[in-house]
Amino acid sequence: MSTSTTLASLSPDETLIKLPNPYSTEYTLQRAFNHDEFSGKTSEGGLHFYKLIPRATQAKGAAELPEPLDNPELYFAEPAELKSSELPPDSNNSAWARSRRAPNFHMRRNTDPDRATGPSETWPWIAP
């Protein structure tokens, strides 16, 4: 049985995601706590938000990404699972049941009109 790790328990120095070769880009987690983007709020709807940022130092020989995958406007909340009483039985292997058993998370984008950009297809991919 695997143990569950919460985002809040991770150190900002830990690598959370590392892309495969040839890129080998490493990302760490930053808690969005009292950031200007949240106007001094620490949470929204009781959820604490985080964002991925590239590590300051990358592996030697790592290829540069053709397009950046991180975005300073993208924040996400801790993944959450439904209560066991709300889950479909394990014997139900339909697409609906599998999606209900998967953790869900909230994403939030900075909506500053001066920095408005269209969402990228990479944004949901890079969120854990």
Which DSSP category does 65 fall into? Answer: P
Q: Tens digits of per-residue pLDDT, 77-113?
A: 777 788 899 999 999 999 999 989 988 777 776 665 5
pTM of the model: 0.59
Best CA proximity match to 71, nearest among 58, 55, 54: 54
pLDDT on residue 1: 38
CA R_g for the chain: 17
Nearest to 126 by CA among 18, 44, 23, 42: 18
Domain spans of the chain? 10-111
Query: Which residues make Cβ contacts (< 8 Å) with residue 70, sequence separation at least 6?
Result: 27, 51, 52, 53, 54, 126
User: What pLDDT score was predicted for residue 89?
Assistant: 94
Q: Give the residue ranges of the chain where pLDDT is below 70.
A: 1-4, 33-47, 109-128
pLDDT of residue 98: 92
Q: Measure the CA–CA gap between 88 and 109, rounded to whole angstroms.
A: 31
- Rounded-to-integer distance, Cα 94 and Cα 13, Å: 39
pLDDT of residue 116: 54
Q: What's the confidence (pLDDT) of residue 123?
A: 55
Place of tokens 């998370």: 105
